[in-house]
Amino acid sequence: MRFIRGISFLLIVFVLMVMNAGCWNYREIDKLTLVTGAAIDKDDGTGKYVVTVEVLDIQPGGQDVETTTRTLSTEADTIFDAIRDLAKQTSERLYWSHAKTVIISRSIADEGILPIIDFISRDQETRFSMFIYISDKKMAKEVFQAKDVPSENVSYFLAELKTIKNTIPEFPTATIKSFIVDIYEEGMEPIIPVVSSIENNGEHIPNIKGSVVFKDDKAIGYLNEEDTKNTLLIKDEINGGVFAQIIQSEKETKKLTLEIFKNNVKIIPRYVNGEVMIEVKIDTNLSIGEMMGDIKVSTEKEHLALKESIEKQIESRCEKTIKKVQKEYGSDIFGFGRAIKAKMPKVWKQIGSEWDERFKDLKVSVKSNVQIRNTALMREPIENIKR
C-alpha cells in the first residue's frame, strides 16, 4: 500500500513537472540552423525591413568538419515576421542562442534603432550580449559578403574583435545590454562602432572604423578613429594599447610610441560661481615602446620635459574631441551628466531637464598626469649610446 502511494505520488509530481514547466521542447541539435549574426536594412522603396541572417553551413562529416556560412535574406514588415519567414528557406528552425552580432544599417540608425532592438531583447533565444555594429555601407548585409575571415564567419569575426580591444583601443564595444543601459541612464548617451571593410588581396575583410554618436536611439554623427580613441580615454575604457607622440621642434620631428599600462580617469564636477564645471583627471601609467630620433630621457630634467609634453598632448587631444562633440552633436557620450547626477544630485535636479542644452556650453577642463614607468629594454636610442 505504501508502495502504491509512493508510486502515485511520483506520478503526480512528474505530471506537474511537465505541465508547469513547459520544457517540452525536444529538438535535435542537427535539425537546427545555427544563426551567427544578423544584418538589418530597410528597403527604401517599400519601407519594409530587409533581414539578412548569417547561418552556419555545416557539412555532415565525422573527422575534419569544414564549417562555412551562408546568408539568407527576406523582407517583411516586422523583424519577427521576417525571421519566421526565413525558416522557409532552410526548412529548419533558426536557432538564435549562439548569434553574436547584429549589424544595423546607417539609414535605420538615423531613424532610431529601438524598434529593431525590441525583438532581440524580448525573444528568449537571442542574447543580451549580442554586439551591435552600424554599417557604413548602403546595405548592412554587404558586410556578410566578406569572405576572407575564418570559416567565412563574419559575425563571429566581429564578435572576436573585442578580445583585441586591450591592445588596439580604437573602437568601443556596444552590446544590446550596454546600449539599452546607456539609453535609459540620464546624462549618458551611447556610441556604437562602425563596421566597414578593407581590401586585402582582392578580398574584403570587415574592418572597424570609428563610431557613431547616438542621441537616445537615433544616430546623429560620426567620430573618426582618433576621436573615438580620445572618447574611450575619457570614458576610462582604455587599459592598454599604444599611442604615438610627435615632438616637433625647429630642427627635426621626433616620434615616439607610448604603451599604456594603466589608465585611471576621474570625472569631477565642480560648482563654481553658480556654474557647473567638469574636470577630467586622467592618470596614465605608460612606458616608452619606441623612439625615433634623438630623444633624451636619462636625466630628471629630460624626463620631466618629456612627461610634460605627453601630458600636454593628451590634454589637447581630449579637449579637442570634447569640443567637437559639444559643438557638432550635443550628445553627452562621455557621461558628464551621470557624474553630476551621482556627485551633486541637488544640482542635477535643477539642470537635469535641460541637460541637452547645458551640455553644449559646459566648461570642461582636462588634467593629465602621466607616469613613465620604463623605457623597455633600452634607455635611449642606439645612436645616442654610440656617441
Partner 1 sequence: MKKNNKASGNRKTDNKEHLNEYSLSLSLEDNIKLFRDIFRNDDTLITRYLDIPCSGSKGCFVYIDGMVDTQTLSESIIKPILDYDAESHKKNAPDVEQLMNKVVASVNVKKTDVVDEIISAILYGDTAFVIDGSGDVLLLDTKGWEKRAIEEPTSEKVLRGPREGFTESILVNLTMIRRRLQTTKLKFLFKRLGQYSKTKVCICYIEGMASEKILTELVERLDKIDIDGVLDSNYIQELIKDEPLSPFKTIGNTERPDVVAAKLLEGRFAVIVDGSPSALTLPFLFIEYFQVNEDYYQNYIFSSINRLLRIIAAYITISTPAFYVGLTTYQQEMIPEELLFSISASRRGVPFPTIVEAVVMILIFELLREAGTRMPESIGQTVNIVGALVLGQAAVEARFVSSPIIIVTALTGITGLITPKIKGPIISLRFILLFLSAVLGLYGYTFGVMGLFIHLFSMRSFGIPYMLRLGSLRPEDVKDTVVRAPLWFMYFRPQLLSPRNPLRRSKGGR
Binding site for partner 1 (CB under 8 A): 3, 10, 13, 17-18, 21, 23, 25-30, 32, 34, 56, 58-62, 65, 67, 95, 97-98, 125, 156
Contact 34, 98 (CB under 8 A): yes
DSSP string for residues in 100-139: -EEEEEHHHHHH-SHHHHHHHHHSSSS-TT-EEEEE-SSS
**Least distance CB 36 / partner 1 (angstroms):** 8
Pick 10 or 244: Cβ nearer partner 1? 10
For residue 72, the minimal CB distance to partner 1 (Å) is 17
Q: Which long-range contacts (CB under 8 A, 24 or more apart) does 251-254 make?
A: 252/293, 252/294, 253/293, 254/291, 254/292, 254/293, 254/294, 254/295
Give the residue with the Cβ less far from partner 1, 124 or 201: 124
3-state secondary structure of 77: coil
State how far the Cα of 320 lies from the Cα of 18, in Å rounded to an integer.
62
Of 24 and 184, CB closest to partner 1: 24
What are the cell numbers at 124? 528568449
Q: Which of 176, 260 has the CB closer to partner 1?
A: 176
> What is the nearest approach in angstroms of partner 1 to the Cβ of residue 66?
9
CB 336 within 8 Å of CB 318: no
**Nearest distance from residue 3's CB to partner 1, in Å?**
7
Nearer to partner 1, 35 or 213 (CB): 35
Closest CA to 195 of 369, 35, 39, 11: 39
Distance CA 50, CA 42 (A): 5
Q: How far is the CB of 21 from partner 1 (least distance, A)?
A: 6
Minimum distance of partner 1 from residue 116's CB (angstroms): 22
Q: Which CB, 153 or 263, lies closer to partner 1? A: 153
The alpha carbon torsion through 89, 94, 100, 104 (nearest 10 deg) reads: 50
Closest Cα partner for 234 from 333, 362, 326?
333
d(CA 131, CA 72) in angstroms, rounded, equals 20
Nearer to partner 1, 47 or 60 (CB): 60
Rounded to a whole number of angstroms, the minimum distance from the CB of residue 56 to partner 1 is 6
- Read off the C-alpha cell for 186: 540620464
Sorted by sequence, the CB contacts under 8 Å of residue 77 that are 6+ apart come out as 48, 49
Classify 84 as helix, strand or coil.
helix
119 CB neighbour count, 10 Å cutoff: 17
Q: Which residues pair with 269 in a beta bridge?
A: 278
H-assigned helices in the chain: 2-21, 79-90, 106-111, 114-122, 154-160, 176-184, 225-234, 300-324, 336-343, 345-351, 355-360, 382-386
Q: Which is nearer to partner 1, 47 or 62 (CB)?
A: 62
Among residues 59 and 273, whose Cβ is nearest to partner 1? 59
- What's the closest the beta carbon of residue 178 comes to partner 1, in angstroms? 21
CB of 182 to partner 1, least distance (A): 26
CB of 146 to partner 1, least distance (A): 19
Q: Which is nearer to partner 1, 110 or 125 (CB)?
A: 125
